[in-house]
């Protein structure tokens, strides 16, 4: 299915940026999972725009769970979440006729759907749809935590400014879970925010790299070849708008070195198998080895910028110039963090359920 992902537990997303609703359906959830609407609201708040470094479009995200939950727990039947759109400025896009915005899916969507797509605000291709993924994942993240599995993502670098590396995973993940600007170093957070504000004043945008850690995964998850942990995670992560690259472990930094430097030596720590380094990012042969899973995502600069750009009129096929109107983010990397966490959580839940069975989770 084109808008569905997962096997044991599948997520389906629907809606358009300027339509009445966006939403998600989770099918295959275990029964008896506690569902906290406050936690869903909290995670949605981490995706919400914030000040000069984000779009002026601020949605309330007043979601409704319309199926699959009874007395605060999952029933095991499909769970459906609806999120109304309440802050659309559709006229901003209607004024632009059918000019293809560089870096967006306007042209490719028109080719695929023969011009019948809802193009306002990017339609079904919009980052707005990721709110539904965030809401859906907020159902499973606490359940993963009960199993000792935790996920955290920070801005590894943005506009050439680097954050510090992960240090104490547990402490860093706890910090990131409650901050809307996911930078571990306080000094670097100030520098990155100031740089974003400067870029916004110039009418331009900036991208960067997100780094994610998943702790507590048991060894043995995943399959060789086509359903490797890297394959499944990459498949899902590349579905997030603006993600243009995924790296596991220290792949790009250290692959030009020697095997003696890149290999992760195995040792025993009590009765547990560990590695003394983690260059492979916690995965060998497509299967988790029990070490933290580490990966990075390249997030491109926001394509909507307030500068004149060359483009075409999709209908007339004539060359045009485009001066974008409307409300746009000078950077989306800080908002994309919770989306990466959420997609990762949905994948991890699914591969755990495949390995251990649906009733690995829930109240049994």
Pairing of strands 73-74, 272-275: unpaired
Name the helix (H) or strand (E) containing 4: strand 4-5
**3-class DSSP assignment, residue 314:** coil
Cβ neighbours, 10 Å, residue 227: 14
CB-hemisphere CA count at 13 Å for 88?
21
What pLDDT sits at residue 325? 73
| List of E strands, the chain | 4-5, 10-15, 21-27, 64-67, 69-70, 73-74, 79-84, 150-158, 161-162, 208-215, 243-248, 266-269, 272-275, 283-284, 287-288, 293-299, 309-312, 319-322
Q: How far apart are CA 146 and CA 249, in angstroms?
A: 26
What pLDDT sits at residue 305? 85
Average pLDDT, consecutive stretches of 10 residues, N- to C-terminus, the chain (364 residues)? 91 95 97 97 89 63 95 98 78 66 92 92 91 97 98 97 97 96 97 94 94 98 97 97 96 89 96 96 98 98 89 93 78 96 98 96 84
What pLDDT sits at residue 52? 65
CB-hemisphere CA count at 13 Å for 91?
0
Annotate 262-275 with three-state secondary structure: HCCCEEEECCEEEE
pLDDT tens digits, one per residue of 150-160:
999 999 999 99
Q: How far apart are the first and last CA of the chain?
A: 31
Six token digits for residue 215: 């702790």
Longest dimension (CA), the chain: 70
What pLDDT sits at residue 146? 97
What pLDDT sits at residue 90? 55
What pLDDT sits at residue 277? 96
What pLDDT sits at residue 58? 60
**3-class DSSP assignment, residue 23:** strand
Is the distance from CB of 17 to CB of 84 less than 8 angstroms? no
Six token digits for residue 126: 């919009």
pLDDT tens digits, one per residue of 31-52:
999 999 999 999 999 998 766 6
pTM greater than the 0.85 cutoff:
yes
What pLDDT sits at residue 95? 54
Burial class from Cβ neighbours inside 10 Å (0-12, 13-18, 19+) for residue 271 reads exposed
pLDDT tens digits, one per residue of 77-130:
999 999 999 865 555 555 556 899 999 999 999 999 999 999 988 999 999 999
**Of the CATH numbers 3.40.50.2000, 3.60.150.10, 3.90.550.10, 1.10.3720.10, which one belongs to the domain with range 4-360?**
3.60.150.10
Q: How far apart are CA 41 and CA 134, in angstroms?
A: 10
């Amino acid at each position: 299915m084109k808008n569905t992902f997962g096997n044991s537990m599948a997520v389906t997303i629907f809606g358009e940026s300027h339509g009445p609703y966006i939403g998600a359906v989770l099918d295959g959830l275990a029964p008896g999972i506690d569902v906290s609407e406050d936690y869903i609201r909290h995670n949605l708040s981490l995706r919400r725009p914030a000040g000069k470094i984000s779009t002026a479009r601020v949605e309330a995200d007043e979601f409704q769970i319309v199926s699959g939950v009874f007395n605060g727990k999952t029933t095991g039947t499909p769970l459906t979440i609806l999120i109304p759109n309440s802050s659309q400025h559709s006229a901003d896009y209607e004024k632009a006729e059918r000019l293809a915005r560089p870096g967006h899916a306007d042209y490719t969507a028109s080719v695929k759907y023969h011009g019948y797509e809802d193009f306002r605000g990017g339609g079904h291709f919009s980052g707005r749809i990721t709110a539904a993924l965030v809401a859906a994942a907020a159902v499973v993240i606490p359940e993963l935590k009960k199993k000792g599995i935790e996920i955290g993502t920070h801005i590894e670098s943005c506009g050439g400014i680097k954050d510090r590396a992960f240090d104490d995973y547990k402490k860093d993940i706890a910090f990131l879970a409650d901050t809307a600007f996911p930078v571990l170093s306080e000094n670097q957070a100030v520098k990155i925010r100031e740089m974003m504000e400067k870029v916004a004043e110039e009418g331009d945008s900036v991208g960067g790299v997100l780094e994610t850690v998943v702790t507590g995964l048991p060894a043995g998850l995943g399959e060789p070849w086509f359903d490797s942990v890297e394959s499944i995670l990459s498949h899902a992560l590349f579905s997030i708008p603006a993600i243009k690259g995924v790296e596991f472990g220290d792949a790009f930094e250290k692959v030009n070195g020697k095997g003696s430097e890149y290999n992760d030596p195995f040792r025993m720590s009590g009765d547990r198998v560990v590695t003394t380094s983690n260059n492979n990012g916690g995965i060998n042969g497509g299967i988790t080895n029990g070490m933290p899973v580490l990966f990075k995502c390249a997030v491109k600069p926001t394509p909507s910028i307030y500068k004149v750009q060359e483009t075409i009129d999709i209908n007339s096929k004539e060359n045009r110039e485009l001066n974008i109107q409307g409300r746009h983010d000078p950077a989306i990397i800080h908002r994309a963090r919770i989306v990466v966490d959420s997609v990762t959580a949905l994948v991890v839940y699914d591969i755990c359920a495949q390995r251990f069975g649906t009733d690995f989770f829930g109240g049994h």
